[in-house]
Structure 1
Amino acid sequence: MSKELDQYLADNLADLKSRGLYNEIEPLASANGPIITIGQRQLINLSANNYLGLATDSRVVAAAKAGLEKWGAGAGAVRTINGTLQVHLDLEQELAHFKGTEAAIAYQSGFNCNMAAISAVMGKNDVILSDELNHASIIDGCRLSGAKIIRVNHSDMADFRAKAQEVRSSGRYEKAMFITDGVFSMDGDICKLPEIVAIAKEFDLMVYVDDAHGSGVLGHGHGTVKHFGLEKEVEFQIGTLSKAIGVVGGYVAGTQALIDWLKVRSRPFLFSTSMTPADAAAAIQSLQILDQDTRLNDALWENANYFKTQLNQLGFDTGITETPITPVMIGDEQKAQEFSKRLYEEGIYVKSIVFPTVPLGTARVRNMPTAGHTKEMLDQAVAVYERVGREFDLI
């Protein structure tokens, strides 16, 4: 092995560990539900994105098993050769119905969606205005496109309007797009979509919403765009099937023409084997559950509001969240890591979030209460938070 590589890895790993920036991965010995097993210990799980508990829902599991038996373990090819099975088309039809669009296209992951859709439409003669707190996959997708990227201050509509005006008055770009997360995953705040759409209309910008943390959560489960009633005004609705939907994969929803274009020009669609048929079948079941019944979504919000209220009453700073995402702000990276470890020791699994996921000095632990948690679980977690919070002088 290269000595240079050995030294590079040793030095940089040691540096990350010394600054509290090294993330240790603990494999689960159980399904990822409200209670998880790590090693021989059972813990209350407040770190999963399984908002509605659908990852372990018996109906979704049964659909995956049926899909596996009918269609096999894998699709066997890329979508454009002979890897498009009827179950993939059924999923895309269900997604379009769910998001209120003409059509949809499924990908292997939410990350792939942003790598695919942005670069398929935007190029070196175009410009992208991007919220500064957008997800890493959006940032990478923008870079891959070759377009000019202009960062917009987070949810700052005055800054967005000024930069949109500057872009259009310059006359330098063929196409212009504004990209935002629907729900920002680290702080839990919601994009100002009505204002975004109004400014985009004024300056003829496309609007692109990555709704990874909004789908299944806002709009009675249908997402941020539905929450604001703007399905006809947003050109790109992006989502993942791996969070509230409880499976894996991603999608882009929009006009039929947009989806037709992505099927012939988006590279992850053209050059990656299709998502597994069992996953497609399971995702269809999850979407149908959400479309027919709001009880899981109602339970999610009830639990999230209860848990957040209890933390706030104790004096914890939960930031600017407007959604079930419930950060507890700490600031110092090493302190956040140590706080997470103490919660773990007390039976509560909450991961610390540090740089580069969030800016330096804004470390936090991020709680994800779900529809599957009971009040007893949440009360137990709050009691631990109170005890450990006092140890760390956070309350």
Structure 2
Amino acid sequence: MADRGFDLEEQLTFQADADRRCSLAPADRIDSRGYVSEPPRGGLPVLEADELLVFGSNNYLGLTANQRVQNAARQAAATVGTGSGGSRLTTGDTMVHHDLERLLAETFETDRALAFSSGYAANVGTITALEPDVVFVDEYTHVSAFDGCRLAGTEVVPYGHCDPDALREAVDDALERRAIAEARSNTDANADVDVDTNAGDDTDADADTKANANADADTGDESWLVVTDSVFSQDGWVAPLEELCDVADSVGAWIMVDESHATGLYVRGGGIVQAEGLADRVDIQMGALSTALASQGGYVAGDDALIEWLAARAPPFVESTGLTPMAAAAASEALHLSKHGDHRESLWENVTRLRDGLLTMGYEVDGDSQILPVYVETRDVARALANDLRDRGVIVSAPVRTRSGGHASRNEVREGYVYALPTAAHTRDDLVACLEAFQDAGEALDLL
């Protein structure tokens, strides 16, 4: 068959040469340890003989193997069914979905919440439904936010990572551009006033407008949205949400926070928004049910009007089959356990022990969250370290090259790191084994 312009074999060869080709390597279960297979390439997976410790999963609270979570999924399948059978707007809406959304709204201190089929869908659906005029996005925010902006046809303004001053500068620049454009438009409407509109040359009117733009801080009829992750999977850092809210508030912009890597891990099962007491200042809280909540899907939490609008206008919600009842029930039970169990305390104890052990050995560990990026300078060294650790029985998250989001260097930040991700399910013996593997691998590769 003719390629007719697709020529995927050539593209795959190019990806492999650039070390960008990804492979699927099945595991027997999602837990703190397990057996894995080499990439089967379409054949039947064959599990390797040795069980490995898994320190590369987003299963932060270790609830995928929890009996209560599994039983909740089984009960939902038995009483409601295994699938939704249609869009939530037709036949796919069940009591299980509304129970989950009630718990989410309660946890995130909002009027209501809405469950999507994935966190990606929640991000894309929210931005496309709102169609903001301008979106200011942290340059390392998840790629789904940038995809939502592209689909919405909005103006995208990336700002420096976790930098409120960079956001302020981006907002001020946008205010100046709009004030100048409005001044020129008004001048063009007045035939008695002559304005030089040469590109790159400011008229006296332009200079006066720039001087007053920040003081006016008026976006007119435009809708402006600030988007950021709360915990960044790229480097483990937590965004300075209060300072970002200050900038957004100063110009009447909405702020949307992606809590995918924070949901369930902080006070009363909430995220960074709850930990910092910012629920009344963040307009849109969204996140994933597939990380700490051990299920699948995503959510958006906000006021009544926002949820009503998304339920009617967000394409990934309207046009997709609803989240399965099993996933909704599992997430509900996991959220309950995150609020009332001791899993969060176990996770943070394990994070502290692993971080302290790595630092004591001499590794450089970035971030201030449960994501522990171990810096080793180059992608080649990171891959060598990840491979050596695997040979010693420990799986960590190795650098993977994918397309970038809003900034060319978004994925480059990952290339000099391996990521150690402890969970609440890891025992002290697991942590000791992980640290011993890091010690031996580091010495073998002359990193320590």
Question: What is the TM-score of this pair, normalised by structure 1?
Answer: 0.94
CA deviation after TM superposition for structure 1 residue 55, in Å: 1.1
Aligned: 1:355 with 2:354: no
Q: Deviations over 1:239-280 (max 9, x none)?
A: 110000000011000001110111111011110011111111
Equivalent of 1:313, from 336, 347, 360?
A: 360
In the aligned structure 1, how far is the partner of 2:77 from the partner of 2:414?
46
Equivalent of 1:157, from 150, 164, 174?
A: 164
- SS where residue 114 of structure 2 aligns? strand
CA deviation after TM superposition for structure 1 residue 291, in Å: 2.2
In the aligned structure 1, how far is the partner of 2:278 from the partner of 2:397?
34
Q: Where do 5+ consecutive residues of structure 1 fail to align?
A: none
Number of aligned positions between the proteins: 389
Name the counterpart of 1:185: 233
CA deviation after TM superposition for structure 1 residue 316, in Å: 1.0
Runs of 4+ in 1 over 6 A off after TM superposition: none
Look up the equivalent residue of 2:167 and give its one-letter code. F
In the aligned structure 1, how far is the partner of 2:298 from the partner of 2:315?
14
Asked if structure 2 preserves the Cα contact closer than 8 Å seen for 1:354 and 1:363, the reply is: no
Name the counterpart of 2:262: 214
In the aligned structure 2, how far is the partner of 1:118 from the partner of 1:273?
20
In the aligned structure 1, how far is the partner of 2:303 from the partner of 2:413?
40
Q: Deviations over 1:20-69 (max 9, x none)?
A: 3333321002x211111111220010011100011111000000000000
Aligned: 1:378 with 2:431: yes
Asked if structure 1 preserves the Cα contact closer than 8 Å seen for 2:107 and 2:269, the reply is: no
Closer, same or farther: CA 284–220 of 1 in aligned 2, 3 Å: closer
Compare CA radii of gyration and give the structure with the larger one. 2
Q: Deviations over 1:151-209 (max 9, x none)?
A: 10111111111211222342576110100001001211000001011111111110000
Equivalent of 1:61, from 70, 77, 80?
A: 70
Equivalent of 1:277, from 319, 325, 333?
A: 325
Look up the equivalent residue of 2:35 and give its one-letter code. T
Question: What is the TM-score of this pair, normalised by structure 2?
Answer: 0.83
Aligned: 1:326 with 2:372: yes
CA deviation after TM superposition for structure 1 residue 73, in Å: 1.1
Asked if structure 1 preserves the Cα contact closer than 8 Å seen for 2:234 and 2:413, the reply is: no
In the aligned structure 1, how far is the partner of 2:413 from the partner of 2:18?
11
Look up the equivalent residue of 2:26 and give its one-letter code. P
Moved more, 19-28 or 263-272: 19-28
Provide the alpha-carbon RMSD of the alignment: 1.7
Asked if structure 2 preserves the Cα contact closer than 8 Å seen for 1:20 and 1:334, the reply is: no
Closer, same or farther: CA 392–24 of 1 in aligned 2, 3 Å: farther
- SS where residue 245 of structure 2 aligns? helix
Name the counterpart of 2:306: 258
Closer, same or farther: CA 4–365 of 1 in aligned 2, 3 Å: farther
Name the counterpart of 2:30: 32
Asked if structure 2 preserves the Cα contact closer than 8 Å seen for 1:165 and 1:203, the reply is: no
Q: Where do 5+ consecutive residues of structure 2 fail to align?
A: 37-46, 182-218, 405-410
In the aligned structure 2, how far is the partner of 1:242 from the partner of 1:342?
28
- SS where residue 353 of structure 1 aligns? coil
In the aligned structure 2, how far is the partner of 1:360 from the partner of 1:96?
34
CA deviation after TM superposition for structure 1 residue 220, in Å: 4.9
Asked if structure 1 preserves the Cα contact closer than 8 Å seen for 2:107 and 2:268, the reply is: no
In the aligned structure 1, how far is the partner of 2:95 from the partner of 2:422?
35
Asked if structure 2 preserves the Cα contact closer than 8 Å seen for 1:330 and 1:362, the reply is: no
Name the counterpart of 1:120: 129
Asked if structure 2 preserves the Cα contact closer than 8 Å seen for 1:352 and 1:363, the reply is: no
Look up the equivalent residue of 2:369 and give its one-letter code. T
Equivalent of 2:150, from 129, 139, 143?
A: 143
In the aligned structure 2, how far is the partner of 1:128 from the partner of 1:287?
31
Asked if structure 1 preserves the Cα contact closer than 8 Å seen for 2:268 and 2:340, the reply is: no
Moved more, 330-339 or 153-162: 330-339
Aligned: 1:300 with 2:353: no
Moved more, 79-88 or 325-334: 325-334
Q: Deviations over 1:293-330 (max 9, x none)?
A: 3x1001100001100110111111212x1011011122
Report percent identity of matched pairs: 32
Asked if structure 2 preserves the Cα contact closer than 8 Å seen for 1:220 and 1:297, the reply is: no
In the aligned structure 1, how far is the partner of 2:414 from the partner of 2:109?
40
In the aligned structure 1, how far is the partner of 2:98 from the partner of 2:413?
44
- SS where residue 45 of structure 1 aligns? strand
In the aligned structure 2, how far is the partner of 1:341 from the partner of 1:4?
39
Look up the equivalent residue of 1:13 and give its one-letter code. L
- SS where residue 35 of structure 2 aligns? strand
CA deviation after TM superposition for structure 1 residue 354, in Å: 3.4
Asked if structure 2 preserves the Cα contact closer than 8 Å seen for 1:329 and 1:362, the reply is: no
Equivalent of 2:339, from 291, 303, 310?
A: 291
Equivalent of 1:107, from 116, 131, 135?
A: 116
- SS where residue 41 of structure 1 aligns? coil
Name the counterpart of 2:186: none
Asked if structure 2 preserves the Cα contact closer than 8 Å seen for 1:217 and 1:223, the reply is: yes
Aligned: 1:339 with 2:385: yes
